[in-house]
Structure formats: C-alpha cells, structure tokens
Amino acid sequence: LKFVCVSNDGIDEHMDGCHFLLGLFLRLIGLKNIFGRQLPNMPKEYIVRLIMDRNHKSVMVIRRNLVVGGITYRPYVSQKFGEIAFCAITADEQVKGYGTRLMNHLKQHARDVDGLTHFLTYADNNAVGYFIKQGFTKEIHLEKKRWHGYLEAMLVTLFYAYVWNFSEKNVI
Ligand code: ACO
C-alpha cells in the first residue's frame, strides 16, 4: 500500500522520470473516476477542475499500482486550515480500513508539509459516521476570522461542516 500526494505544482515526495509522470496522470484519472462514481451529486466538471487546480492537492491510496481512493483538499496555508473537497474509496474496497489510513496520512502530510492545524469539510449525510470516527466534530473551535470567506463550498450552511483539530487530538 502506497500513499502519494500530488498537486499541479509538482509532487511533494520527490520523484522524476516521464514514466512516473505518465503514471501519475493515469492515477489522477483513476481518482477522478472514483470520485465521479462515489460522489454522484458532484458535477464531473467540478471534480476535474478541483483535481487539476493549482490550489488543490490530492492524497491517493495506491494498491498494486492501482488507485483505490483518495482525498482532494485545499490548504489555506496562511489561515492554517485545509478544506477537504472530495474523499472516497472505490466501492469494492470500502470498510476495509483504507479510508482511515488515508485520513491519517492526510493529517500527517497537512501538518508536516503544509503546516495546517485544522481541517474543515462538508460531510455528506451518509459519510458523517466516517468523519466522526476520524475525529471530526460539528462544533467549529477554529475562530471564524480564520475560515470565514475562504471556503469553496460557501453555499452549504456551516451546520454540515466538520472540523478536525490537530492540537486537540494526536491520532497519527
Ligand atoms: N457511515 C458510517 N460509518 C462509516 C461509513 C459510513 N458511510 N464508512 C465507513 N464507516 C466507518 C467504518 O465502519 C469504520 O468503523 P470501525 O472503525 O468502527 O470499523 C470506520 O468508519 C472507518 O472505515 P474505513 O474502512 O476506514 O472507511 P472506508 O475505507 O470505507 O472509507 C469512505 C470511508 C471514504 C466514506 C468510503 O466509505 C466511501 O468512499 N464512501 C462513499 C463516498 C463518500 O461518502 N465519501 C465522503 C463524502 S463527503 C466528502 O467527500 C467531503
């Protein structure tokens, strides 16, 4: 099992070679397809736009060279929080622990590489149980001035936002 974090600006874990870049491109398409199937309410163009967007990063779980799932997020480095846009594991690999390992990897990466202290996300109703198990809460302890006006999904009310705070929990 391998975890790779990519952004349009480059690859955080340094690697080179065109074979690698081609592989990466195919994996991003694989991730896009998983999000497309697992998040049917999200328009496909929106998924592609955020995956390819310079401001977003994606952490992927790879098993036997195939993408099993991933998380696409936007780090707001100056505000020290990240917004999770998409999170999914492919249908036949769900509830095997990959989602938990993925989230732990994301937290570690976001803390060590991006310097974040919090995550915000708008969890779909059926994924609330998963986010709560990963330590997210409904109460936003983060001061409003740090996130207000920054979020991509401003249309969704904050009632659905879930927050994970690095300083309160150390589950990595
Ligand atoms: N509802 C309640 N609990 C859940 C759910 C769920 N939908 N999915 C997993 N869990 C629980 C598991 O039972 C497990 O509990 P346990 O530790 O007591 O056994 C725990 O959460 C972790 O399970 P994992 O196996 O690590 O999770 P998985 O690999 O299945 O990944 C995920 C979870 C990402 C939600 C996956 O099931 C999935 O892709 N679902 C469909 C897409 C989706 O809903 N994505 C989130 C949308 S919100 C967003 O993208 C911002």
In the predicted model, what is the mean pLDDT of residues 31-58?
94
* Per-residue pLDDT at 17: 57
Nearest to 70 by CA among 56, 169, 155: 56
Do 111 and 96 touch, CB atoms closer than 8 A? no
Angle made by CA atoms 136, 94, 120, in degrees to the nearest 5: 20
Query: Ligand 1 — pocket residues by CB below 6 A?
Result: 38-39, 84, 86-89, 94-100, 121-124, 126-127, 129-130, 133
- Protein residue with least CA distance to atom 47, ligand 1: 124
- Protein residue with least CA distance to atom 4, ligand 1: 130
Atom of ligand 1 nearest to the CA of 87: 50
Do 108 and 145 touch, CB atoms closer than 8 A? no
**Most informative mutation of 47, 101, 130 for ligand 1 (most atoms within 8 A of CB):** 130
Enter the pTM of the model: 0.86
Distance CA 63, CA 80 (A): 31
Options 13, 83, 93, 152, the catalytic residue:
83
62 pLDDT more than 70: yes
**Minimum mean pLDDT among 31-45, 106-120, 148-162: which range?**
148-162
Atom of ligand 1 nearest to the CA of 124: 48
* Mean pLDDT of the chain, nearest integer: 81
CA of 130 to the centre of ligand 1 (A): 4
In the predicted model, what is the mean pLDDT of residues 121-129?
85
Atom of ligand 1 nearest to the CA of 34: 39
Q: How many residues does the chain have?
A: 172
pLDDT in tens, 67-100: 999 999 999 999 888 999 999 999 999 999 999 9
Distance CA 159, CA 136 (A): 13
**Which one-letter amino acid corresponds to residue 64?**
R
ipTM of the prediction: 0.92
Distance set, CA 114 to CA 37, 63, 126 (Å) = 29, 25, 29
* Per-residue pLDDT at 154: 39
Is 45 labeled as catalytic in the residue annotation? no
Query: What's the half-sphere exposure (Cβ side, CA atoms, 13 Å) at 60?
Result: 29
Q: What is the dihedral of CA 62, 1, 94, 71, to 10 degrees?
A: -50
- Antiparallel, parallel or unpaired: β 81-89 and 118-122: parallel
CA of 155 to the centre of ligand 1 (A): 24
